[in-house]
Amino acid sequence: MLTASAVRPVSLGRMLATGLVAGCALSGCVTSGPSAGSPAGPRLSSSPLASAPASGTAAATTAAGPTGPTGPSHSPYAGPARASRSATPSPAPPRGPATTSPPAAARTIPRTAPALLVTRLRGLPATATQVISVVATGYGGTTSTLQAFSRVGGTWRLAFGPETAYVGEGGFAPPGAKREGDGRTPSGLFGFGFAFGVAPNPGVRLGWRPVLGSQDVWDDDPSSPSYNLWVDTTNASAGLDPEPMDNRPAYDLGAVIAYNTARTPGLGSAIFLHVATGGPTAGCVSLPYPQLVPLLRWLDPVEDPVIVMGTAATLGV
């Protein structure tokens, strides 16, 4: 054991030469090991002075080589050895749910557009490429839904509507049940006759007959020879109490629906598609004038147009 008197000051140069550099006095760091060729020994404390290592330990260090048994030594000024970042890899963050297609319940399933009503109508003539449908929800109702369809290249398309149309004050009559004066609109499939009006022709393609005055009437007397016909009373008799054709605004514009063309007495007469007057009719179908004009312009006799009328249940739609 050295006595206090035996301790001699050691210069910094000697300390560096022998690898005995102490840890920094300010930071408290220590050396990580001896430099090459220096005797090995315990790490130095933060004191500027230390005891010399034993010679046996120095020999062992020399035999191990300047880098030590496991790798190069650190700089004498380095702080404590730090663990390698790759020594303990960080665990991978947990994966969230896969971002694939949403569950079936959350997917938007495209819906097929409902088939046009015209495709569900039964008994349409093969030659008819223009169809007007007038459908009520049930018997007794005085309003209905009117639509018009055109067949182009074998495909039906909506051409007009839907619009609300008035029918008879008694609603629709069941098929074959229409009678003269009952205030009901006949059910069934019918063609068109000619167009007419008190107002000037707006450009319709059906045959046109202008209403010239009070002499123009429609014969609705079942006992008359001219039953269910237009009559000019200046040169023919129209039977009892005929329908005046100068009735405005109802007959400002209209088209004859070809109902009871056989003119069977009592089955009904004077069934038209004409201008609405704000309420139900005596058995006709009516639309407001702004909607009626383009519809009648659209009708083309070359297309063999028809009108299908009745309740949804009757028509099977």
pLDDT at 79 (0 to 100):
43
- Residue span of the structural domain in which 242 resides: 117-315
Stretches where the chain sits below pLDDT 70 are 1-113
Shared domain for 182 and 310, answered yes or no, is yes
Domain match, 284 and 208 both: yes
Rounded Cα gap, residues 123 and 191, in angstroms: 13
Contacts 24+ apart (CB under 8 A), 103-107: none
Residues 49 and 198 in one domain: no
SS3 track for 199-248: CCCCCCCCCEEECCCCCEEECCCCCCCCCCCEEECCCCCCCCCCEECCCC
Cβ contact 228:220 at 8 Å: yes
| Residues 232/244, Cβ–Cβ less than 8 Å | no
For residue 114, the model assigns a pLDDT of 74
In a domain, 144, yes or no: yes
Could you write out the three-class secondary structure of 250-279? CCCCEEEECCCCCCCCCCCCCCEEEECCCC
73 and 164 fall within a common domain = no
How many helices and strands (H and E) does the chain possess?
A: 4, 12
Q: What residue type is 203 in one-letter code?
A: G
Question: What are the tokens at 217?
Answer: 């009437």
Q: CA of 305: how far to CAs of 8, 130, 206, 225, in Å? A: 129, 5, 10, 29
Nearest-angstrom CA–CA distance, 283 and 274: 11
In a domain? residue 1 = no
Work out the angle at residue 144's Cα, subtended by the Cα atoms of residues 138 and 150, and round it to the nearest 5 degrees. 120
The amino acid occupying position 214 is: S
* Model pLDDT for residues 141-194, shown as the tens digit of each residue: 999 999 999 999 999 999 999 999 999 999 999 999 999 999 999 999 999 999
Cis amide prior to 244 (ω within 30 degrees): no
For residue 48, what pLDDT is reported?
36
| 311 in the same domain as 180 | yes
The reply to whether 240 and 299 lie within a common domain is yes
Query: Is residue 54 a part of any domain in this protein?
Result: yes
Determine, yes or no, domain membership for 224.
yes
Whether residue 5 lies inside any domain: the answer is no
User: Residue 77 has what pLDDT?
Assistant: 35
The answer to the question of residue 45 being in a domain is yes
Strands 230-232 and 216-218, how do they pair? antiparallel
How many independent structural domains does the chain possess? 2
Residues 222, 272, single domain; the answer is yes
- Please check whether residues 273 and 221 belong to one and the same domain: yes
Structure-token pair, residue 258: 């070809």
> Does residue 50 share a domain with residue 179?
no
**Residue written as token pair 């700089």:** 75
Q: In terms of domains, do 180 and 276 share one?
A: yes
Residues 6+ apart with CB under 8 A from 258: 190, 191, 192, 193
Q: Are residues 29 and 167 in the same domain?
A: no
Alpha carbon separation from 138 to 58, 152, 175, 275 (Å, rounded): 115, 31, 13, 23
pLDDT tens digits, 98-138: 555 555 544 555 555 578 999 999 999 999 999 999 999 99
